[in-house]
Amino acid sequence: MDCAPRVGRRVALELQRKPHIATLVSSEFQCEVSVIVPARNEEACLADCLRTMVGQQGVPYEVIVVDDHSTDATRSVAESFPVQVITADPLPPSWSGKCNAAASGARVAKGKWLLFTDADTKHAPNSIAAGLHEALECGAGLLSYSPKQEVRGFAERALMPVIFAELAATYPPKDVCDPNSPTAAANGQYLLIRRDVYDAIGGHAAVATAILEDVELAKRAKQAGYALRFRMSDVVSTRMYRSFPQIWEGWTKNLALLFPRPRRLALIRLGEFAILASGIYFFVDTWLIGNLIEITSETIATILFFVYFIKRIRKAHFDWLSNALAMFGLPLFAILLWNSDRSHKRGVVSWKGREYSARLGVPQMPCGNARTNAAE
């Protein structure tokens, strides 16, 4: 059931009627939502996130920042805001760092709902209330938004629409929300789950070894009979990666796990790029030396193929410039996907100064002082 338009109108009316409640809840309010922000070496973006979390409107809430043993100024940044700051528990064997930090935050949370969000996100003033009201309206035990993606520079603009268009095709929100479909997905950048649902499916302890813990939580919730709600939303935005090394490390960790046949998909997208590139070449060449019939046929073929490509890419909801550059993201996507699959087959991937078993998500040994700022 698609209840988004109806929910949007209801949320707007509710926010007008309800008193605005800023920063952390006081003792006179019952906490509805506990916002949990796992943060490891996030000094570059955490302040922007917390500025948008403090002063949210329409619902009593608390914000808990979990310092995941950062080696930079992450904790100092967090402590400069009126939020609760805790240190993640020591990392247990076989746990991923993010699962451990999220579970540490959940243990001290007081809310009826838990909102897990990343340190590199930015939220609209009604982000928490909008998610809560939509979840209640749709009867969802778990609601997740895919945020608006902020992209800068050629590599980000070319690559990100390709990846998110592929995700939209692999995990259609309509299927995720359908209780009769086995498809399940969630985005850890905004994952709102009812506390009793979280506890019933075992929380992050149940997915402690998973690299894609958000997707695994959604799978467990749906298999347990709880309704999922998943869609793109502009109430939260993020810039996932701020340099090419971060892009390489982050997508190497994730891509092969997101798609069922990564190498086959990589070859398909390389083939698509070859067809697009050759179409442009022959189109130009035909206009220079061809006759009218050849020009007409080449023009029609090239336009049709590009229309098909852009129609698919537009499902990722990026700006026109990024959509226009997405063709050049196809070979980069194929290379990253192939490298991700190779890394997982070798058994080890790196993330935020830790190495994990690609099969179990098990932390291995430190791999240097990686002060990255990408989304976990």
Does 71 share its domain with 193? yes
Q: Which residues contact 263 (CB under 8 A, 6 or more apart)?
A: 337, 338, 341
Residue at 250 is within a domain? no
Does 50 share its domain with 168? yes
User: Tell me, what CATH number does 110's domain have?
Assistant: 3.90.550.10
Distance from C-alpha of 261 to C-alpha of 371, rounded to nearest angstrom = 32
Distance from C-alpha of 58 to C-alpha of 18, rounded to nearest angstrom = 6
Number of domains forming the structure of the chain: 2
Does 227 share its domain with 301? no
pLDDT tens sequence for the chain (376 residues): 455 444 444 444 444 444 333 344 434 458 999 999 999 999 999 999 999 999 898 999 999 999 999 999 999 999 999 999 999 999 998 888 899 999 999 999 999 999 999 999 999 999 999 999 999 999 999 999 999 999 999 999 999 999 999 999 999 999 999 999 999 999 999 999 999 999 999 999 999 988 899 999 999 999 999 999 999 999 999 998 888 988 998 899 889 999 999 999 999 999 999 988 887 777 676 666 666 666 666 677 778 888 889 999 998 899 999 999 999 999 999 999 999 999 888 877 776 666 666 554 433 333 333 333 333 4
Does 266 share its domain with 187? no
Does 230 share its domain with 267? no
Does 42 share its domain with 115? yes
Distance from C-alpha of 275 to C-alpha of 257, rounded to nearest angstrom = 27
Alpha helices in the chain (DSSP H): 4-17, 46-53, 74-79, 97-108, 127-138, 153-170, 173-177, 195-200, 213-223, 244-258, 262-289, 292-313, 320-325, 329-346
Q: Judge residue 322's burial from the number of C-beta atoms within 10 Å of its C-beta, 0-12 exposed, 13-18 middle, 19 or more buried.
A: buried
Task: Write the CA distances from 67 to 81, 134, 143, 249, integer angstroms.
Answer: 14, 30, 25, 21
Does 94 share its domain with 187? yes
Query: Which position has the token pair 């902020």?
Result: 150
Does 198 share its domain with 324? no
Predicted local confidence at residue 353, as pLDDT: 67
**Predicted TM-score of the model (pTM):** 0.82
Nearest to 53 by CA among 71, 86, 87, 77: 77
* Structural domain span for residue 345: 262-357
Does 351 share its domain with 230? no
Predicted local confidence at residue 290, as pLDDT: 61
Residue at 370 is within a domain? no
- Contact criterion met (CB below 8 Å) for 102 and 213: yes
Residue at 332 is within a domain? yes
Does 61 share its domain with 184? yes
281: which 2 tokens? 């070449």
